[in-house]
Structure 1
């Protein structure tokens, strides 16, 4: 397995856990857990691979990814009740998964020699689409759309950091570290300290 493949694998594991936690909040059955976990785990990477026209979507080429996601769903099904606040665990697991997935998306696009703007977009797509699908299916307000929170913006900043790093050093490890750290720090700061971006506020109509 390549380093970028390992990033995809790590993102699948953590996103599968967050998907299963969302399924526990929705009180789904075991099959529902597996479905939501798999959807969350591979949704972003699938979107990326389809848009990039890769020869095979990563989890179709290697079904181990699906097996790991299902296993994570089963584990969470029997342990979710141990967490006092599943929403809090879900949110922080999602933050970790976002950081890893953005790095994976940037890495895959770099390997295919895409333009920097495409690399950034693929990083954002890989990081955000799985969680977006999870929240829509579980009838939750998508984290990526919560007012003022740094989510897609954190992914964008992380992806840009990854692109800038590739101009400094060809090391995929350094790229992944810079991308992941920037993404996670911004997302964590939003969760812990309330960091936000300005939001649009409509003005009252003039009389």
Structure 2
């Protein structure tokens, strides 16, 4: 298994856990768990592959990704009741999944020789779109769009860190590690310490 496949597997599993936990909060049945877990797990990577014209899409080429997501859904289905605060758990698992998925997207884009801006965009797309789909389907305000949250910003910062690191080394591991660490630190800081971007506040027009 190459490092990019390992990142995709890890991102799929952890994102699937967040999808299944969201399904538990909505009190869905087991099919709902599997659907929401799978949507969250492969949504970002699917959009990435479509945009990069990768054929076949990663989970069609290797259906084990869907199996992993389904197993994660089943695991949560029988254990979710043990967690006192599932929302808090979702936030932290989502932060971990975001950092790994951004790295996976960056790695794929780098391996296909994309330009710097496309590498950054593919990292952000891979990391954010699965969670966005999960929250929209579950009728929740998407984490990616909450006021001031370091979410998309964390994804782009991680991707940019990877791009800078590629100028220092020819090894793929260092850029992907830098991407993962930067994304996770920023997202964790937003959750734990309230790091935020300034938000727009409307003002009454002057007379």
Q: Does 1:12 align with 2:12?
A: yes
What is the rounded CA distance, in whole Å, between the counterparts of 2:56 and 2:148 in structure 1? 36
The answer for the alignment partner of 2:32 in structure 1 is 32
What is the rounded CA distance, in whole Å, between the counterparts of 2:21 and 2:79 in structure 1? 10
What is the rounded CA distance, in whole Å, between the counterparts of 2:200 and 2:146 in structure 1? 13
Q: Does 1:91 align with 2:86?
A: no
What is the rounded CA distance, in whole Å, between the counterparts of 1:150 and 1:102 in structure 2? 14
The answer for the alignment partner of 1:75 in structure 2 is 75
Q: Which sections of structure 1, spanning at least 5 residues, go unmatched?
A: none
1:54-82 Cα deviation digits (max 9, x unpaired):
12110000000000000000010000000
Q: Which sections of structure 2, spanning at least 5 residues, go unmatched?
A: none
Residue 19 of structure 1, CA deviation = 0.4
1:133-180 Cα deviation digits (max 9, x unpaired):
000000110000000110000000001001111111122211111000
The answer for the alignment partner of 1:41 in structure 2 is 41
What is the rounded CA distance, in whole Å, between the counterparts of 1:13 and 1:140 in structure 2? 21
SS at match of 2:202: coil
TM-score, with length taken from structure 1: 0.99
1:86-132 Cα deviation digits (max 9, x unpaired):
00000000000000000000000000000000000000000000000
SS at match of 1:113: coil
What is the rounded CA distance, in whole Å, between the counterparts of 2:60 and 2:163 in structure 1? 27
* Consecutive aligned runs of 4 or more in structure 1 exceeding 6 Å deviation: none
What is the rounded CA distance, in whole Å, between the counterparts of 2:189 and 2:3 in structure 1? 28
The answer for the alignment partner of 2:191 in structure 1 is 191
